[in-house]
Structure 1
Amino acid sequence: MNFEQAFKNIDNLLYKDSGADSELDYIGQTSWVMFLRYLDELEQDKADEAELRGEDYSFILEDKFRWPNWAMPKDVDGKLDHHIAMTGPDLVQFVDYELFPYLAGFKKTADNPKTIEYKIGEIFSELKNKIQSGYILREILEYADELPFRASKDKHELSHLYETKIKNMGNAGRNGGQYYTPRPLIRAMIQVIDPKIGETIYDGAAGSCGFLCESYEYMYERMDKTTDNLKTLQEDTLYGKEKKNLAYVIGIMNMILHGIEAPNLVHTNTLSESIRDIQEKDRHHVILANPPFGGKERQEVQQNFDIKTGETASLFLQHFIKSLKTGGRAAIVIKNTFLSNTDNASTALREHLLNSCNLHTILDMPAGTFTGAGVKTVVLFFTKGEPTKNIWYYQLNAGRNMGKTNPLNDKDMAEFLELQKTKPETEKSWVYKVSELDEETLDLSPKNPNLPEEAPLRSPTEILAEMQALDEDTNEILAQIKELI
């Protein structure tokens, strides 16, 4: 059975179960099962490596809670041993009252948050098993057991399928959409920023970790494949924070499937941290993010910021500017109204951005880029440490209405990526001098001066005069025809 069919079968089973009733539940439940399946393969690989070195390997999980013992005990023929395998209510009881509490306990006993042990504790502290039928769970475990995690080709295919599930979850409803940024947009943002090995990359609103996963792929493809570089990329390059339980678990799983063994993803509300506490050791070379927009933060959260506002994205933007090293580069997706809102907080934030950073590029995305979101967005590209003098705008026009059936693709981004290198003036792009901005409002909303001028609309008098002239011409031609006849 191929991976895609296994995923479909699992979804069909979850649909039949009374405990999981949405796409969000499906991916959450699939994630914890897949994580334990992955963990068993990881441990087995490490045990095999230790054996080759003539060493003993100490398994993270106690025997009782290892996948081959509770999920898939097999007989001598490699088939499920029905004599000892739990099925039905006993399986659900074991998962709910023994397995999950045991795994959640790792959060307290792990040495530090960077370890795989801590990630195990975090995941199983936040998730609940929603699969109510032990018979359905038994079938799901059997499908998951068939998924191979060892070969990089297998992981690549699995990660692609998992991304598809995340995308479908985003399309399924408003709550899911916040986890999914179109990958062609992410890839274009990364290409412009061009992160290098040795730099750190940060996303404080990580969601499903699309920016971190795509950054890993980008850097892996371009770096020298040395042991040191791979270790640096795996352990000391990608950093994220995520507030929501499900998004955190999906993000961890997504990074694992992309080949990152113990992701540096912290489960926390980024905005609950005061930006005044951010020190140089907390800063990063590169920030790539799509913070949630439209949220309203409470007064006590706003106190953590110099510019007080309830708008979530504006607070995140302050956090990102403060979290960037001097000379660091950022690409941030934000609602296009940020460019022109007239409230004091928005104006003050635009002023702060323009004074502390070189906002060199604004990419104006078409409506429908984010399926289901119904908002227009822009991407801000900036470098910290010097004020903005000129801004290059580019208005992306894909030549079609975008939406679920017509999503953004990599070809749509090609012209922007090419033009961004030299920042020329075209019908879709132009340069704006900050010195020409309105000093009161600092309105940055796109006003393309290079659109071809449309012919001015004619007055009714002019239209009637032309109609009369045409009538006279017609009558004259008809009269000439009559004479000929």
Structure 2
Amino acid sequence: MKVVNLQSRIDRITDILRRDDGISGAMHYTEQISWILFLKYLHDYEETKASDALIDGKQYKYIIDTKFRWDNWAYPLKEDGMYDLKGAMGGDDLIQFVNNELFPYLQSFKSNPQEVKTVKYKIGAVFEFINNRIASGHTLREVIENIADLSFQSQEDLFELSIIYENLLKGMGSDGGNSGEFYTPRPVIKAMVDVLEPNVNDTIYDGAVGSAGFLIQAFDYVIQKKNEYSTTQLKHIKEGMFFGNEKTPLAYVMGVMNMILHGIESPNIYKQNTLTQNIRDFQEKDRYSVILANPPFGGKEKKEVQNNFPVESSATELLFLQHFMKKLALNGKAGIVIPEGVLFQANNAFTAVKKDLLDNFNLHTVLSLPMGIFLPYSPVKTSILFFERKGGTQDVWYYEINLEKKLTKNKPIQYEHIADFVELYKTRATTENSWLVTADEIRKRNYDLSGKNPTKQKEIIHQSPNEILADIQSNDKNINLLLAEIDNLIQKGYER
């Protein structure tokens, strides 16, 4: 099924859900489509595993018991392979089964901590924080019937599904409000991954996962060379490469499901507030070689949380920056989105953290993003810090993205807007949009990291006192002439 046809099918399902009394807004219908799609995907996943095992002369052990499999409760088939409409549950019976039996059963999968690396455990983690909101069994039956013939058994099918799921998550972001936490513009994420160039030996971390866009883009980047990897390396990619935390329950669920739907079978994503970890306790074994993140900013944290950081502050952006600095492994590299205010804030806390960043890390690049990049849910201007845990900073390469037209909700950032930055990143070339500033110069400015493009600074003409006086007198003379002319016109008007 082509992406466009799959998209039209999802649009139809969305319209069906909008009519249900239990659904309100993009967040709800995306959540509900997600768990139903996820269970259909799991059914196809298990059927594929069973077929592969049969070919090898083995027997596959199903994760989900017969009673709770898709082809039993959701879309039962007759002996001839046709849909058993009469035998399918509907109405109140279907809703009661889903709410009182299916969901508790799936939630129980997280009960065994010994299975934390398994797909089964991840299924339990997903359903721990999600509930069925569909009030009508007839609505649920109609949605199931629209999803039932979708197949997710090939890599092409899975790729198409992942594109549609990304569009659903993007729609949640466009819905405004707090749903912006789920979605970072993919061109920005792709550019950050492209310049950091993660490889198969890395461990990659995002302490504010959201819908897991950074981790998925990094996975897509690494998996391009899958034919070159050993079995051990492929296992590392699917089980031991990607890590993260997410505080919000729904964002956590979306992130885990998104990663599984993209082919990362056992993502190491945890439902917790990253900032509750005391960064003084981190050891080298707790650190990661690549960190990519767009953490929440503009929030405030309580004193108990602030105590986890050497430099206390209520600003979440400053706490997250300290966290990522401490989580970065020796010789590791990071790309972190920050509100631009971090660059020039001059109070003691901000100055102390920037001093640490400049003195103990190699802050080699600052990318200034254009206004409106996170519309419609945030108008804040942002920048991206690229740094390594390797020595100190010698100089900082600044790049400023300048667009001819303003970004809007309907005209978002595109990859071509960032392509020049990606191309110049390694060479650190000086252009009309990029320039170098030494670390010593930044220290003289009391660690003000805001970069002013030297090619756009207006030339200041210094005049002598006599020249300034002559200009004033000349202006006064011109003003007096204009006043006399206006007075003359007024007098002529009176005479008439």
TM-score (norm: length of structure 2): 0.90
Q: Paired residue for 2:28, among 25, 28, 38?
A: 25
Q: Aligned partners of 1:468 and 1:85: how far apart in 2?
A: 93
Q: Return closer, same or farther for 1:10/1:227 CA change in 2, 3 Å cut-off.
A: farther
Q: Aligned partners of 2:293 and 2:161: how far apart in 1?
A: 24
Are 1:129 and 2:132 matched, yes or no? yes
Once the two structures are TM-superposed, the CA of residue 424 in structure 1 deviates from its matched residue by 2.1
Q: Aligned partners of 2:322 and 2:110: how far apart in 1?
A: 31
Q: Paired residue for 2:375, among 324, 346, 371?
A: 371
Give the percent of matched residue pairs that are identical in Structure 1 and Structure 2.
Answer: 45
Task: Say if 2:181 and 2:251, in contact at 8 Å, map to a contact too.
Answer: no
SS in 2 for 1:202: strand
Q: Aligned partners of 1:448 and 1:5: how far apart in 2?
A: 46
Q: Paired residue for 2:42, among 31, 39, 44?
A: 39
The letter for the 1-side match of 2:317 is A
The letter for the 2-side match of 1:288 is L
Q: Paired residue for 1:453, among 432, 454, 458?
A: 458
| Residue matched to 2:256 | 252
SS in 1 for 2:456: coil
Task: Say if 1:201 and 1:286, in contact at 8 Å, map to a contact too.
Answer: yes
Q: Paired residue for 2:309, among 302, 305, 329?
A: 305
Once the two structures are TM-superposed, the CA of residue 437 in structure 1 deviates from its matched residue by 2.4
Q: Aligned partners of 1:6 and 1:412: how far apart in 2?
A: 32
Q: Paired residue for 2:341, among 317, 337, 343?
A: 337
The letter for the 1-side match of 2:414 is N
Q: Paired residue for 2:111, among 84, 108, 113?
A: 108
Deviation string, structure 1 residues 233-267 (Cα, Å, up to 9, x no partner): 22222212111111111111211222112222122
Q: Paired residue for 1:296, among 290, 300, 315?
A: 300
SS in 2 for 1:111: helix
Q: Aligned partners of 2:241 and 2:429: how far apart in 1?
A: 33
| Residue matched to 1:189 | 192
Once the two structures are TM-superposed, the CA of residue 180 in structure 1 deviates from its matched residue by 1.0
Are 1:173 and 2:198 matched, yes or no? no
Q: Which deviates more, 125-134 or 423-432?
A: 423-432
The letter for the 1-side match of 2:452 is K
Q: Paired residue for 2:265, among 261, 264, 284?
A: 261
Task: Say if 1:305 and 1:318, in contact at 8 Å, map to a contact too.
Answer: yes
Task: Say if 1:370 and 1:403, in contact at 8 Å, map to a contact too.
Answer: no
| Residue matched to 1:54 | 57
The letter for the 1-side match of 2:240 is D
SS in 2 for 1:286: strand
SS in 2 for 1:339: helix
Alpha-carbon RMSD? 2.3
Q: Aligned partners of 1:150 and 1:465: how far apart in 2?
A: 85
Q: Aligned partners of 1:14 and 1:295: how far apart in 2?
A: 33
Deviation string, structure 1 residues 365-400 (Cα, Å, up to 9, x no partner): 010011121000000000013111201111111221
SS in 1 for 2:455: coil
Q: Return closer, same or farther for 1:318/1:72 CA change in 2, 3 Å cut-off.
A: same
Q: Aligned partners of 1:113 and 1:461: how far apart in 2?
A: 82
Q: Any stretches of 5+ residues in structure 2 without a counterpart?
A: 463-467, 482-496
Q: Aligned partners of 1:321 and 1:452: how far apart in 2?
A: 33
Task: Say if 1:427 and 1:452, in contact at 8 Å, map to a contact too.
Answer: no
Task: Say if 1:364 and 1:377, in contact at 8 Å, map to a contact too.
Answer: yes
Q: Aligned partners of 1:76 and 1:467: how far apart in 2?
A: 98
| Residue matched to 1:444 | 449
Q: Which deviates more, 258-267 or 286-295?
A: 258-267
Once the two structures are TM-superposed, the CA of residue 358 in structure 1 deviates from its matched residue by 0.5
Q: Aligned partners of 1:399 and 1:343: how far apart in 2?
A: 35
Q: Return closer, same or farther for 1:160/1:463 CA change in 2, 3 Å cut-off.
A: farther
| Residue matched to 2:489 | none
Task: Say if 2:126 and 2:257, in contact at 8 Å, map to a contact too.
Answer: no
Task: Say if 1:31 and 1:249, in contact at 8 Å, map to a contact too.
Answer: no
Q: Aligned partners of 1:266 and 1:48: how far apart in 2?
A: 32
The letter for the 2-side match of 1:120 is I
Task: Say if 1:302 and 1:309, in contact at 8 Å, map to a contact too.
Answer: yes
Q: Return closer, same or farther for 1:25/1:463 CA change in 2, 3 Å cut-off.
A: farther
SS in 2 for 1:432: strand
Are 1:412 and 2:414 matched, yes or no? no
TM-score (norm: length of structure 1): 0.92
Once the two structures are TM-superposed, the CA of residue 225 in structure 1 deviates from its matched residue by 3.5
| Residue matched to 2:494 | none
Q: Aligned partners of 2:412 and 2:461: how far apart in 1?
A: 35
Q: Which deviates more, 175-184 or 222-231?
A: 222-231
Q: Return closer, same or farther for 1:351/1:52 CA change in 2, 3 Å cut-off.
A: same
| Residue matched to 1:358 | 362
Q: Aligned partners of 1:84 and 1:462: how far apart in 2?
A: 96
Once the two structures are TM-superposed, the CA of residue 230 in structure 1 deviates from its matched residue by 2.6
SS in 2 for 1:334: strand
Q: Paired residue for 1:432, among 421, 433, 437?
A: 437
The letter for the 2-side match of 1:274 is N
